Chains A and B, each alone.
Chain A
Amino acid sequence: MWDYTEKVKEHFLHPRNVGELEDANAIGETGSLNCGDALKLFLKVNENERIIDASFMTFGCASAVASSSALTEIIKGMTLDEAAKVTNDDIADYLGGLPKEKMHCSVMGKAALKKAIANYRGVQILEKPGELVCECFEVTDLEIIDAVKENNLETTEDVTDYLKAGGGCGKCLDRIEEVIASVKAKG
């Protein structure tokens, strides 16, 4: 059984801000049914670019639900610029930490937030920029590079914990190792 903190359990059993936000003006979606977890984030942003309300719908494990709940609580009241600086570590910290293998749940929160902000600002972010590395979980090299840099990841297991990449058939593990090495080589 996972060693979830009381706060994770509490946010899973009593998630905050669940459901569609009727008058949302920014939406960010990430994950899929096949991947085993997915998050749809709804934001209501006012004319000063402040998030006055946030809600979510999540398919996934207890830590995915708790991470989504935590994310909405964290960003409510923030400006979009402030929200853009929220990291996946902030989400995990808010919950008193997540098991390492579950860090991808916090990364999912961060990814949905990024998309929602782009959605509000009308910025086109390419759906999956970069070269596809993990086919099972549709993770690109650029996403791996970002996660390695942001979280100072060292090993392929780390990358799997944070992005799920490599956690399916395992065919891409060598490629993930190359991507990690390339980031480390560049410092």
Chain B
Amino acid sequence: MKVIYTDNNATTKVADEVIEEMVPYLGQFYGNPSSMHTFGDQVGKKIKAARQQVADLINADPDEIVFTSCGTESDNSAIFSALNAHPDRKQIITSTVEHPAILNLFKFLRDKKGYDAVFVPVDKQGHLDTDMLYNSLSDNTAVVSLMWANNETGVIFPIPEIAKKVTEKGILFHTDAVQAAGKIPIDAKAANVDMLALSGHKIHAPKGIGVLYVKKGLKFHPYLIGGHQEKGRRGGTENTVSIIGLGRACELAAAHLPVMDKEVRQLRDYLQDQLLEKIPGVSVNGDLENRLPNTLSIGFDAVEGESILMLLDKEGICASSGSACTSGSLDPSHVLLAMEVPFKSAHGTIRFSLSHYNTREEMDHIVATMVPAIEKLRAMSPFWKDGKMV
């Protein structure tokens, strides 16, 4: 069965061009980039080129790029570095809708390390309560960490504006840009962020490779202490193959940004409009304008997300849900709860996240599958009768 992959905020297909770039370094060129011989150094030179490619995607200098193992490591490294930079400061600030890499780290720091963690709420559209954020800033604030774009709804936070106000007060600012990178333009310099996290597998590179941007001049405290790699900012022999793949993926991502903004956005809007038109009792979650061009979080009244996913899966369609039943937790996702999405549609929320590999035909197939799937589930739902909620 042909797979229709619309779960690109979870992970992405490794681009053929990326694989092609990586393969020689998996076999033939296995040298250590730090070695004092030409055989290893040719890998070193390739990594240098990859570092430049990554830097170019986010308008950074190559020296500001630290390779890590994943987005979570980048986030953890950034926060621990900030805390070590200001051991006297005991307040840390983030939002209620962050990825677990930040959310659970902040809860850990609160519960086990005695930090005063502030979780700034969002409104029903997913917009951050910036007044509360700014009012919370003080001499005691060690770091503010906010995602650039939300993984579930695609809602974009105004990071450049926020980073300016936070850093003006001498407070470190970190952003988790894992979902934003490759989908909207990211300019780390102009945004004035201190640190920024990226993840390879969200932009058509392999899993197991991440990036932490560390602003030039910022005193960085390494999380993984070891060798001299990454200028002492992250010990451990480089994941050469993945770094090389990531470099190529970043180059492709930069080239594809206009495609994301136009073609992928049009596909997403088409899917959204078709679902809204053909199925009653449907609502889109989050700010429709200020949203990643590839993401659609859409709630279906009176049905449950896992059941929808199972019916999609039967047709080879990959998506994910904001519902409890798929994750093993029992409440709807913390993002939807934070946005006060009503339970009637939160449990039946599906996230479609597209890439430039998707086609119009695939969108039509999704719609053609969704219409009878929702009808079937509503026919057995005690909360749906005669075309509406009961």
Contact = CB atoms under 8 A, between A and B. Distances in A.
A39 B326 CA distance: 19
Contacts of B305: 61
How big is chain A's contact interface, by range? 20 to 34
B308 to A, nearest CB: 10
B25 interface: no
Contact of A13 (B314, B326, B347): B314
B302 A33 contact: yes
Interface in A1-36: 2, 9, 12-13, 15, 18-19, 29, 33-34, 36
Interface string B347-381: 10000000000000000000000000000000111
B331 A62 contact: no
B327 to A, nearest CB: 10
Nearest to A166: B330
Contact of B330 (A18, A56, A59, A167): A167
User: Which of A39, A60, A64 has its CB near the most chain B CB atoms (within 10 A)?
Assistant: A60
Given A36-B323, A58-B380, A59-B382, A101 B303 contact: no
Contacts of A169: 331
Contacts of A58: 380-382
B304 A167 contact: no
Given A64-B304, A164-B330, A19 B380 contact: yes
Nearest to B311: A13
A137 B380 CA distance: 22
Contacts of B152: none
Contact of A167 (B302, B326, B329): B329
Contacts of B382: 29, 38-40, 57-59
User: Which of B323, B324, B382, B383 has its CB near the most chain A CB atoms (within 10 A)?
Assistant: B382
A38 B344 CA distance: 12
Contact of B307 (A65, A101, A137, A168): A65
Contacts of B324: 36
Q: Is the interface of B mostly helix, strand, loop or mixed?
A: loop
Contact of B325 (A15, A34, A56, A61): A61
A19 B376 CA distance: 11
Given A61-B306, A61-B325, A64-B304, A33 B330 contact: no
Nearest to A9: B310
A34 B328 CA distance: 16
A162 B265 CA distance: 43
B302 A160 contact: no
Nearest to B323: A36
A57 B381 contact: yes
Given A13-B310, A33-B343, 8 more contacts: A40-B382, A57-B380, A59-B302, A59-B383, A60-B307, A167-B330, A168-B331, A169-B331
Interface of A: 2, 9, 12-13, 15, 18-19, 29, 33-34, 36-40, 56-62, 64-65, 101, 136-137, 160, 164, 167-169
Interface of B: 302-307, 310-311, 314, 323-326, 328-332, 343-344, 347, 379-383
16 contacts: A13-B314, A33-B343, A33-B347, A36-B323, A36-B324, A38-B383, A57-B381, A58-B380, A59-B382, A60-B307, A61-B326, A62-B306, A62-B307, A136-B331, A167-B329, A167-B331
